[in-house]
Amino acid sequence: MPLKSLARFEVPYLQILNEQGKVDGRLMPKLSDKDVLYLYETMVYGRLLDRTCLSLQREGRMYTYPSSEGQEAAQAGSAFALQQEDWMFPYFREICSHLVRGLPPEKYLLYWMGDERGQQIPENINNFMICVPVSTQLPHAVGMAYALKYQKKKSAVLVYLGDGATSKGDFHEAMNLAGTWKLPVVFLCNNNQYAISVPLSKQTASKTLAQKAIAYGFSGIQVDGNDVLAVYKATLDAVNSARSGGGPAFIEAFTYRLGDHTTADDSSKYRSAKEVEEWRKKDPITRLQKYLEEKKLWTQAYQKKLEADIQKKISEAVKAAEGIEPQPVESIFNFTYSEMDWNLKEQLNKIKEN
């Protein structure tokens, strides 16, 4: 008997705004000029805040820091597709997503300055905490999606991961649970081409990361991750579908980390300056700026004022983060359990005596 084909799959690719700043009008999502300007301003804000973090780190005012430069579109575009009641589960390179979701910038700074209060998310913001161990956040997002569905809430969960995370077991288990339980959760993979020094070619034999979703029973799409409009459109479609019972989705945002993995890394050891330069030409902010200029929404004077306003906000945030009252010693004990047992009380008293 001849072999039969049991199934065929496609892995779509979406780009709306190309490297030259030209938009494919047929694919353009419904966004007002104000929305597009908001996205642009948030990306600029993210980049400047990110560069401030690098400077603060060099001056010894911040600890190890992972830069987001180059990935602003994937972050801002996806987070902008969420509604306030939706949940966002970040990994650790997500500066613009936090800003879009309304996290006060001083909170972001505080965390990387080594203060737990940076992760004390304000009550009205449905963001979970930054996750450092790669891919371990994925099953949490799945569980949250289950809880939302169980409580009959019409909200979705957006969880971020990197390309390296797709190699880990938690990824498989979370994707499998999400598909099996048909949960309202969207996986947004920032494929920035490197897991520290290891390039994607050493991470997987898979042609795309998007196709991995197919095996779990839901759709995967690759988008130009430096195209904020494509990322927004793909995420919006995915969260809308998730909220109305369509189940999970996987989005691979094809992007590039322009900076080092963290301030403890030197990326020149494992990639060429030429490669980085090629990706600089695809900068997500520059291409959106070209688009806005074409639409007469951008001028040099506007940019100058925008940056001045942002720098003012950043200065205030740095001031707030550095000026915060130190946490008392009790704070490192108080939140271990709902109540301290005799053992923790003994240890706390001993520290206080010394």
Contact set for another protein, span 40-69 (CB under 8 A)? none
**Of 257, 271, 291, 337, catalytic:** 257
Stretch that binds another protein, among 35-43, 146-154, 227-235, 265-273 (CB under 8 A): 146-154
**In this structure, what DSSP letter does residue 181 have?**
T
Using CB under 8 A, pick the residue from 21, 29, 143, 246 that binds another protein. Answer: 143
Q: What is the token pair recorded at 37?
A: 């300007």
Q: In the complex, what is the shortest distance from the CB of residue 120 to another protein, in angstroms, rounded to a whole number?
A: 4
3-state secondary structure of 153: coil
**Of 261, 271, 280, 302, catalytic:** 261
Give which of 181, 168, 198 is closest to 189, Cα–Cα.
168
HSE-up of residue 102 (Cα within 13 Å, Cβ side): 13
Q: In the complex, what is the shortest distance from the CB of residue 171 to another protein, in angstroms, rounded to a whole number?
A: 10
Give which of 182, 249, 243 is closest to 14, Cα–Cα.
249
**C-alpha–C-alpha distance, residues 154 and 332, integer Å:** 37
**Of 270, 280, 287, 337, catalytic:** 270
Using CB under 8 A, pick the residue from 51, 117, 182, 313 that binds another protein. Answer: 117
Using CB under 8 A, pick the residue from 43, 53, 145, 251 that binds another protein. Answer: 145
* CB closer to another protein out of 129 and 306: 129
Using CB under 8 A, pick the residue from 100, 161, 177, 236 that binds another protein. Answer: 177
Give which of 332, 222, 287, 240 is closest to 72, Cα–Cα.
287
Residue 324 binds another protein, judged by CB under 8 A: no
Known catalytic membership, residue 108 = no
Known catalytic membership, residue 261 = yes
**C-alpha–C-alpha distance, residues 90 and 161, integer Å:** 8
H helices present in the chain, as ranges: 33-58, 72-80, 95-100, 105-112, 138-150, 169-180, 200-203, 228-243, 273-280, 284-294, 300-323, 331-334, 342-353
Residue 289: CB atoms within 10 A of its CB come to: 18
Known catalytic membership, residue 172 = no
Using CB under 8 A, pick the residue from 53, 88, 103, 174 that binds another protein. Answer: 174
Residue 152 binds another protein, judged by CB under 8 A: no
Buried b / exposed e over 253-270, threshold 16 CB at 10 Å, is bbbbbbbbbebebebeee
Using CB under 8 A, pick the residue from 16, 96, 121, 317 that binds another protein. Answer: 121
Residue 124 binds another protein, judged by CB under 8 A: no
Using CB under 8 A, pick the residue from 18, 119, 208, 267 that binds another protein. Answer: 119
The site for another protein (CB under 8 A) is made up of: 87, 116-117, 119-121, 123, 128-129, 133, 136, 138-148, 150-151, 169-170, 173-174, 176-177, 180, 331, 334-338, 341-343
Known catalytic residues are: 257, 261, 270
